[in-house]
A and B are shown apart, each in its own frame.
Chain A
Amino acid sequence: MIALWSNLHPALQMLLKGLAVILVIFPIAGASSLAERKVSAWIQGRPGPNRAIPIWFAWVPVIGPMLQKLGVFHLMSDGVKMLFKEDALPGHVNKPYFILAPILAMIPAFTTVTVVPFGAYLDAAGRTIPLMLANVDVGILAVFAVGSLGVYSLIIAGWASNSKYPFLGGVRASAQLISYELSMTLSVLPVFLWVNAPGTAGSLSLARVVEFQSQPGFWGGTWFIFLMPVSAFVFLVSLYAETNRQPFDMAECDADLVGGFHTEYGAFKWSLFFVAEYSHMVVGSAVFTLLFLGGWNPLPWVPLSDVAVWLHLADAPILLGLLSIAIFLGKVLCSIFVFMWVRWTIPRFRYDQVMKLGWQRLLPLAIANLIVYALIIAWLQPKN
């Protein structure tokens, strides 16, 4: 099995790995949309979608009704509806760009996954090897660079729709996403200042950050959310703004902009925007987990390698890899739940409040945080 795998052409290997990752991300994005409906319903004191069931599933005694109560089949019927609905193309739009926009929304959402590690295993020498598609040193830079391209799809969609509400949505999206990107980038700088001690090989890889959080000892095993709570807070708030989630969904704003940038979209093209939004959430949560929540380490001060020793999994790289992926996905899903929890708690900000919060509160906070941590790190580092 493994011999067959390693005999494959490297390009084919990468292609298969990439497909596997997309095949995991896509259902998670879909399941998040269902989870969103259920969580919103539960918070509002409703049962939520619980009706749809295929006739042959109704015969399965316990599992059938349980899946029905969870609304799993609503997700499937929604997907089928999106796929087979007439894909209307309004007459007044700029057609090439109108069609291009949802495709552009998907590309950055799936491209950023390549540099995000999602698990780890121990090799024969006992070193932790991260599981990721491309372990490149640019890491977080690639996430920011490619992820911020997502705003172009919103702007293009808003502009190509050639009507007022999408246009306003596109303008808002561009202003909002660009202003929050600044604080987001500034908030992660202290983490990488801390990780890259002078004299060692510098790296912006996300796997390196997790490795740093899984060192032995009190300071080594501390997750960055405890070391840098302000950074984590600013990053999280900017993440909500970057993924266009409430309370920052200025680009969609169904109350005052109808649907914002996707007002003119329907059927499959609309569902691409939808999946892209949730994929952004998944990738954003993954990055937050890696940077501040210790990645695939199950608990603070308990690195994965210790767990491998306790469970005697050090010699079983596949099992350990699956375990680490499960831990990591669990954290990501919790983080997505917090996204939804916040969404159904806080009402949407007004546009001027969003701008004020971004430029007058978060940005100064991020800069002050950076300076304070730079000073601390300079003071802590060994003098020679």
Chain B
Amino acid sequence: MATVTVSRKPLSLSERAYLPQILAGMRITLKHLFSPNVTLSYPEQRPAIPPGYRGVPTLVMDPHGREKCVSCQLCEFVCPPKAIRITPGAVPADQPDRAHVEKAPAAFDIDMLRCIYCGLCQEVCPEEAIFLQNQFSMSGYSRDEMVNHKDRLYELGGTLPDQHFKWDKKKAAEEHGNQH
């Protein structure tokens, strides 16, 4: 390997005397003494979350307040630390407009002690039903508390806009008889 000789400038007199350098340093620290804080007082002040942030995984509903997850279990299979556990079930009888979806999760648990926030579940989801959102702080007093059940996941997720309304289109297509 080629050797690069770095030329070092000899120290000037003021640098060797050391004292002017110290005074310059003290001037800088004095400036910092009066400059505003760079920290946040955390629980009262929250940091701005950048877009695309991967926080706690949550389940979302569509703008009509309907469940989006169809219990396909792709996220369960893709989850590297096996944090997701889904029990598939039928669509509840009180949702006649979703009867053609066939399946819905009877139970949906995400163990936040296992989750590594990789976002693969969000990426794999064909229904855009699971999202890693802005919440970054999870705490609990027991292992059980750290498992997010279905109702908690929906509470955390809320509603997100939907561009497709995939199952509405399917139903409309079915009704007009142009099955593919």
State whether B22 touches A345 (Cβ < 8 A).
yes
State whether A43 touches B33 (Cβ < 8 A).
yes
Segment of B35-43, B72-80, B149-157 in the binding face: B35-43
A45 at the interface (CB under 8 A from B): yes
CB-defined interface of B28-56 with A at 8 Å, one 1/0 digit per residue? 11101111111101000000000000000
Partner of B32, one of A44, A342, A346: A44
State whether B29 touches A341 (Cβ < 8 A).
yes
Instruction: Collect the chain A residues with CB atoms within 8 Å of residue B28's CB.
Output: 345
Per the 8 Å Cβ criterion, residues 339-363 of A in contact with B are: 341-342, 344-346
A173 at the interface (CB under 8 A from B): no
Closest chain B CB from A198 CB (angstroms): 35
Interface residues on B, range: 10 to 19
Instruction: Collect the chain A residues with CB atoms within 8 Å of residue B99's CB.
Output: none
Instruction: Collect the chain B residues with CB atoms within 8 Å of residue A50's CB.
Output: 41
Instruction: Collect the chain B residues with CB atoms within 8 Å of residue A47's CB.
Output: 37, 39, 41
State whether B29 touches A45 (Cβ < 8 A).
no
Instruction: Collect the chain B residues with CB atoms within 8 Å of residue A42's CB.
Output: 32-34
Closest chain A CB from B83 CB (angstroms): 34
Instruction: Collect the chain B residues with CB atoms within 8 Å of residue A344's CB.
Output: 29
Instruction: Collect the chain A residues with CB atoms within 8 Å of residue B33's CB.
Output: 39, 42-43, 341
State whether A346 touches B22 (Cβ < 8 A).
yes
State whether A43 touches B41 (Cβ < 8 A).
no
Closest chain A CB from B15 CB (angstroms): 15
A92 at the interface (CB under 8 A from B): no
Closest chain B CB from A114 CB (angstroms): 34
A312 at the interface (CB under 8 A from B): no
Partner of A346, one of B25, B34, B35, B41: B25
A9 at the interface (CB under 8 A from B): no
CA distance A46 to B39 in the complex (A): 6
B26 at the interface (CB under 8 A from A): yes
State whether B37 touches A45 (Cβ < 8 A).
yes
Partner of A345, one of B25, B36, B37, B38: B25
CA distance A39 to B36 in the complex (A): 13
State whether A45 touches B38 (Cβ < 8 A).
yes
State whether A46 touches B37 (Cβ < 8 A).
yes
CA distance A344 to B28 in the complex (A): 11
| Smallest CB gap from A337: residue in B | B33
Partner of B26, one of A45, A46, A345: A345
Per the 8 Å Cβ criterion, residues 269-328 of A in contact with B are: none
Instruction: Collect the chain B residues with CB atoms within 8 Å of residue A345's CB.
Output: 22, 25-26, 28-29
| Smallest CB gap from A343: residue in B | B29
Instruction: Collect the chain A residues with CB atoms within 8 Å of residue B36's CB.
Output: 45
Instruction: Collect the chain A residues with CB atoms within 8 Å of residue B35's CB.
Output: 45
CA distance A45 to B39 in the complex (A): 7
| Smallest CB gap from A237: residue in B | B19
State whether A341 touches B39 (Cβ < 8 A).
no
Interface centre among A47, A342, A345 (most CB of B within 10 A): A345
Instruction: Collect the chain A residues with CB atoms within 8 Å of residue B34's CB.
Output: 42
CA distance A45 to B28 in the complex (A): 12
CA distance A157 to B35 in the complex (A): 41
Closest chain B CB from A360 CB (angstroms): 13
The residues of B with any CB-CB pair to A shorter than 8 Å are 22, 25-26, 28-30, 32-39, 41
Across the A-B interface, give the 10 residue pairs with the lowest CB-CB distance, nearest first.
A45-B38, A345-B29, A345-B25, A43-B29, A345-B26, A46-B39, A42-B33, A43-B32, A43-B33, A47-B37
The residues of A with any CB-CB pair to B shorter than 8 Å are 39, 42-47, 50, 341-342, 344-346
**Listed A/B pairs (19) with beta-carbon separation below 8 Å:** A42-B33, A42-B34, A43-B29, A43-B33, A45-B35, A45-B36, A45-B37, A45-B38, A47-B39, A47-B41, A341-B26, A341-B29, A341-B33, A342-B22, A342-B26, A344-B29, A345-B25, A345-B29, A346-B25
Given contacts A341-B33, A345-B25, 8 further A-B contacts (CB under 8 A): A43-B32, A43-B33, A44-B32, A45-B37, A46-B39, A47-B41, A341-B29, A342-B22
